[in-house]
Amino acid sequence: MNRTPCLLLAGLVCCACLTALWAADGDLRAIDASRSRLEVQVYKSGFLSAFGHNHEIEAPIDYGKVELSATPSVVLRVDARKLEVLDPDVSADTRAEIQTTMEGPQVLDASHFSEIQFQSTTVEARGTDHWTVHGDLTLHGQIHPADLDVTLKDGLYSGSATLRQTHFGIKPVAVAGGTVKVKDEIKVQFKIALMTVSPSL
């Protein structure tokens, strides 16, 4: 039974998290990929949802930078082909099946739309070490606005965003005549660390 995460995206969006990276005026920082991860939670739905399960997806952040100026900006990119289904409570065969469905044309169509990108447009301070980052998310070949809630603690920028698969042209996966399916709404969470030295980007 295919139980597919629409992931991504989300993922993606989360990516927006980079937006919180405001540490010093005029600073330019790259993301430390070795200490930065993106996680996507996809939840089950439907009349027989008790027979399905939620999905956990993780992805590395391939590229990201934060520019601090009069008009600060954040750019973040994730390769959709590197999203990995974790789902520890299912068999390896079932997990592989979910992975294939997620990558395929039914969900991400990663072979055609491999790039997921977030580009900030504005950043709003919400208090000490707390921001809302507004921007545009490119996912599944479509571009739509996305907002991220970001906080800074112990040197890590953490946050979350909620996305709808249908906003990006993705139809939530359903099986058994729709009695077991995933919800349209997915949650993206992230933890991001910045390089300590400003690189030449």
Q: Is residue 200 part of a domain?
A: no
* pLDDT score of 84: 93
Rounded average pLDDT over 33-55: 67
* pLDDT score of 53: 65
Angle at 53 between CA 49 and CA 57, to 5 degrees: 140
For residue 12, pLDDT over 60 is answered with no
Q: Is residue 197 part of a domain?
A: no
* pLDDT score of 135: 93
Confidence band of 44 (pLDDT split at 50, 70, 90): low
Rounded average pLDDT over 138-152: 91
For residue 5, pLDDT over 70 is answered with no
C-alpha 28/C-alpha 24 separation (Å) is 9
Tokens 């998290």 map to which residue?
17
**Residue-wise DSSP of 13-67:** HHHGGGGG---STT-EEEB-GGG-EEEEEEEEESTTGGGS--EEEEEE--EEEEE
Instruction: Name the more confident of 74 and 162.
Output: 162
Q: Is residue 31 part of a domain?
A: yes
* pLDDT score of 174: 65
How confident is the model over 21-38, as pLDDT tens digits? 444 445 787 888 888 888
Q: Is residue 38 part of a domain?
A: yes
Domain around 102: 8-192
Q: Is residue 199 part of a domain?
A: no
**Residue-wise DSSP of 119-159:** EEEEEEEEETTEEEEEEEEEETTEEEEEEEEEEEETTEEEE
Instruction: Name the more confident of 167 and 72.
Output: 167
Q: Is residue 100 part of a domain?
A: yes
Q: Is residue 149 part of a domain?
A: yes
Q: Is residue 51 part of a domain?
A: yes
* pLDDT score of 181: 67
What's 123's domain CATH number?
Answer: 2.40.128.110
Confidence band of 172 (pLDDT split at 50, 70, 90): confident
> Quick check: 177 and 20 in contact, CB under 8 A?
no
What is the total count of domains within the chain?
A: 1
How confident is the model over 93-129, as pLDDT tens digits? 888 988 898 899 988 899 999 999 989 999 888 889 9
> Quick check: 174 and 162 in contact, CB under 8 A?
no
